[in-house]
Amino acid sequence: MAVKQFKAESQKLLDLMINSIYTNKEIFLRELISNASDAVDKLRFKGLTDESVGISSDDFAITLIPDKEARTLRILDNGIGMTKDELETNLGTIARSGSLDFKTNNTSEEIDIIGQFGVGFYSSFMVASRVTVVSRAFGSDEAWKWESEGTEGYSIEEAEKSEVGTEITLYIKENTENENYDRFTDVYGIQTLVKKYSDYIRYPIKMLMTHTHPSPKPDDAGDDWTPEYEEHSEWETLNSMIPIWKRKKSETSDEEYNEFYKNNFYDYNDPARVITASGEGAVNYNAILFIPSNTPYDFYTKEFKKGLALYSSGVMIMEKCEDLLPDYFNFVRGVVDSSDISLNISRELLQQNHQVRLMKKNIEKKIKNELLSMLKNDREKYETFWKSFGRVLKFGIYSDYGVHKDVLSDLLVFYSAKQEKLITLDEYVSAMPEAQKYIYFASAESVERAAKLPNTEAVLDHDFDVLLCTEDVDEFCLQVLRQFKEKSFKNVGGGNLELESEAEKEAAKAAAEENKGLLSAIKDALGDKVKEVRTSSVLKDHPVALSSEGPVSVEMEKVLKNMPGNDGVKSEKILEINENHSVFAALKQTAADGNSEKLALYASILYEQARLIEGLTVEDPIAYAKAVCSLMK
Ligand code: ADP
């Protein structure tokens, strides 16, 4: 029989499993049971509309058969099964791994991969040296056997199987110094694992348990009577099967919630928050929602799909129902179970369903309140959450023309230049001195850089705080928000910071008037590069700064430039020159000397410097280098 090679990525993942130093090898059982449960779900769902399934709901089960002598563990299900093709595609390749650069040396990255991916079926090879899968697909009268020892590849041959479903046999590894593999062939070891990881699987997980009973004491037994021990075997259901969302929060431990989450949503980490929700009356439902503590590996890819699992009275009807979650809470995972939703409801009808809308509304409110409470009572956790998902909330404000801004603005945090930590807008506004009219913000690619922008320093110098923005979406978000508690946002790079006192304003006006000729000469030298050249009385140490006027800021120009089709978008730049700086005196002198060539040279150097300070590139590097050199001559 021909041995087939695994696809390259699968081979790497397999090597990883086989040689794994991952200590949590026991999760293989949860993975296989979940697969079995999914397969049963599929057949059961089919059975709702297809009479030929012929299994009554009560007969669906997952069966575990450990065998100490043979050193095997068998996992059987009467689910949908797999055809020959499905065995090959499902077990011979790993679909999700394509984009991954697997590391196969034994490092902590390996553990991350195992954790992040939930690894599925291949985790069998952490505990087994050989695995066989015999499966018969629903609707097929043939069965096939897939077999592999991991490294060499796998083989497929025809097999016998009277019932539809799948039977997996693990040939358990020998014990090593570090790992006791015996426990995976032991009924009590297995029982513990099922309780720990798979208690809420909705189908009975059955195992033949043998108990020894002492024989009953006969009435006439004397003092020296000792009982005989009798063995008695029976099939027992190991899992409690009650869906966790039907249980009271007070009667469920954190650990149980965490396990449920990790089992069902392929996350290695505990969730940051667990939310339970329910409704009675207009719509009847129970929901359990989780806020993950880390960004899922595919979160910012187009493969990521938002949605909550939707159940109708305990039967799953949709794995990811989008209509239950607003986009800006797309990171939330969970389950909603409602007796008001019909089993056979179509996607289209769901969208218009009144009850679905009600549930979505309640769920949104619940999530918002939970996030607010985290923000208030557990700032550290919120900051971790923010790192993972803050962008989504900011996009939420920006999208749909800002209709959701009232829901979301309380949840925003930005880095405060003064307090050197993340603060809410409310905290910013509460700390504003009386004289301060605006909420100032500065944008750059890092907090350090934003803090050092000339105009940021000018604002801070007036003892006004500046929010330091570092994400592409920030300015767009604040532009849509426009105001918070009646205070308008002001970009420190947006010109006219209104920092001057009345007297200073007058002085500035006079200075502008006085230097009119000089400024317009500089403007002429720079041409279209800038819209205007101004003097500034608020700049401190820097000779120049670049600001902008109009809807597109300098930072936005950078963002838009990186998006296709936005090449021509430019901000209207204003060159501000510090009138108190010695450079300004030099400019004045040059103009007074009538040396217009030199003035043009100075103008171009200052302009390029202002660009550099703003994090823009020099427009004409060669001309700039020449200009600087000509000054040194
Ligand atoms: P995942 O479950 O995350 O998709 P796995 O590697 O665990 O990844 O399984 C790959 C696929 O093999 C599953 O998606 C499913 O289609 C199929 N499969 C695995 N186990 C079974 C089973 N017991 N019965 C039917 N199909 C199965």
* Per-residue pLDDT, 119: 65
Identify how many contiguous H helices and E strands the chain contains and give both numbers. 20, 22
CB distance 164 to ligand 1 below 6 Å: no
Reading the block at residue 87, the tokens are 């065995």
* Per-residue pLDDT, 23: 65
Reading the block at residue 456, the tokens are 């940021």
pLDDT of 103 strictly over 50: no
Which of 114-118, 189-193, 345-349, 620-624 comes out lowest in average pLDDT?
Answer: 114-118
CB distance 165 to ligand 1 below 6 Å: no
- Residue in the block written with tokens 């959450």: 385
Atom of ligand 1 nearest to the CA of 168: 23
> Is the backbone of residue 88 left (phi > 0), alpha (psi -120 to 50) or beta?
alpha
Report the nearest-CA residue for atom 22 of ligand 1.
36
Atom of ligand 1 nearest to the CA of 118: 3
Distance, CA 121 to ligand 1 centroid (Å)?
A: 7
CB distance 121 to ligand 1 below 6 Å: yes
Q: Which of 36, 32, 31, 47 is nearest to 202 (CA)?
A: 36
Give every strand in the sheet of 439-443, ordered side by side: 421-424, 413-416, 466-469, 439-443, 487-491, 483-484
Report the nearest-CA residue for atom 3 of ligand 1.
120
CA–CA separation, 408 and 390 (whole Å): 11
pLDDT of 435-494, one tens digit each? 999 999 999 989 999 999 999 999 999 999 999 999 989 999 999 999 999 999 999 988
Radius of gyration of the chain (CA): 34
Q: Confidence band (pLDDT; 50, 70, 90) for 113?
A: low
pLDDT of 96 strictly over 80: no
* Per-residue pLDDT, 20: 66
pTM over 0.85: no
Distance, CA 59 to ligand 1 centroid (Å)?
A: 21
Cβ atoms of 155 and 2 within 8 Å: the answer is yes
DSSP-assigned letter for residue 494 = S
Q: Confidence band (pLDDT; 50, 70, 90) for 316?
A: low
* Per-residue pLDDT, 345: 75
Report the nearest-CA residue for atom 16 of ligand 1.
90
Q: Which of 524, 540, 544 is nearest to 532 (CA)?
A: 524
- Residue in the block written with tokens 């699968």: 10
Reading the block at residue 15, the tokens are 């090597």
| Mutation choice for ligand 1 from 38, 114, 203, CB with most ligand atoms inside 8 A | 38
CB distance 36 to ligand 1 below 6 Å: yes
Reading the block at residue 562, the tokens are 């990186």
Distance, CA 263 to ligand 1 centroid (Å)?
A: 15
CB distance 123 to ligand 1 below 6 Å: no
Distance, CA 421 to ligand 1 centroid (Å)?
A: 46
pLDDT of 141-194, one tens digit each? 999 999 999 877 899 999 999 999 999 999 999 999 988 999 999 999 999 998
CA–CA separation, 199 and 225 (whole Å): 42
Average pLDDT over residues 34-53: 90
pLDDT of 382 strictly over 60: yes
Distance, CA 29 to ligand 1 centroid (Å)?
A: 13
* Per-residue pLDDT, 346: 76
Q: Which residues contact 139 (CB under 8 A, 6 or more apart)?
A: 52
Distance, CA 198 to ligand 1 centroid (Å)?
A: 16
Distance, CA 123 to ligand 1 centroid (Å)?
A: 12
pLDDT of 235-272, one tens digit each? 999 998 888 898 888 989 999 899 889 878 888 899 99
Q: What is the mean pLDDT of the chain?
A: 88
pLDDT of 487-524, one tens digit each? 999 999 887 788 887 888 888 888 889 999 999 999 99
Distance, CA 236 to ligand 1 centroid (Å)?
A: 25
| Mutation choice for ligand 1 from 32, 75, 121, CB with most ligand atoms inside 8 A | 121
